[in-house]
Structure 1
Amino acid sequence: MKIIFFTILLSASLFSTSIFTVENVNNLKIYYANKSDFLNREQNKYIKTKTEEKFKSVGIELNKVDASAFMIKIESLEVEESHAVLVSIALGEEVLTNRKDKIGTFAWTYYKTDLMEIDEPYKDILESVDYLVDEFIEAYLDDMQ
């Protein structure tokens, strides 16, 4: 039953179109949060460093003044007798609302997740982060054209 659930969830997320735009995103500060017990300090550092290198390779600057926040969050879930991991990435920015008084606030302007049952925690998490970051970069490159 749980395999069917994960399969449906994964296939639904694969074929959805993005409602987000990342046009003119050129300065990010990476916030990395690992809320699972599957990765050690070196593995966490590698994931963050690899993500920074990917951003730099497409011209996105990092850690400048007034940078937008790019979050990578890893959470573990226990489903019956197996373990699952939820990997989320998000872009947080200061925005003005369309409300009467144009209120300035912080909002997640890009948000994607990947939920998976894990066999090899480090390998599966690394693949998930790579997949989500690559999707973000692809959207960035498309929007910049």
Structure 2
Amino acid sequence: MGEPVPHIALKGTLKHDGWACWQDRTDHRLWPIGAAIAAGLAQAGADVILLARAADQLDEADNAIRATASGVEVCIVTSDPTNDTQRTTAIDDLLSGGPVDVLINNAATVEPLGASATISPAQLRQAFEIIVIAPAVLSPWARVR
């Protein structure tokens, strides 16, 4: 049946600087949710790939994960999930290291905010790209067992 999945030491959702975060039980570090999941997997021995639009957030998560998990590979990919060309390049980058066993799709947005009459079709399309299209395009690349 394989090895048991180790427990990832994360607790309750927090808000910090407008971000939903998890707090690590061991060092009380605040992590954005995706980075927290990646850190927990890395601490359990998994190699991880981080994909996001913001290179500074990726670098911060990369450094934090490397500081808390030794002996694992951390790969970062900067990509806008709403851009078809960048998504295709990201998929190629993701698959260059072999199959992906676990894919955590947690890209989200609360935008657009406001009365429905004030929200443009372009704003709705942008939100739909982030919440629906990007995960649907990226998900098939995770290995099915």
Q: Which interval holds the TM-score relative to the shorter structure?
A: under 0.3
The normalised TM-score by structure 2 is: 0.23
Work out which structure has the larger RCO, using CA pairs closer than 8 Å and 6 or more positions apart in sequence.
Answer: 1
Q: Which has the higher strand share?
A: 1
Give the helix-richer structure, 1 or 2.
2
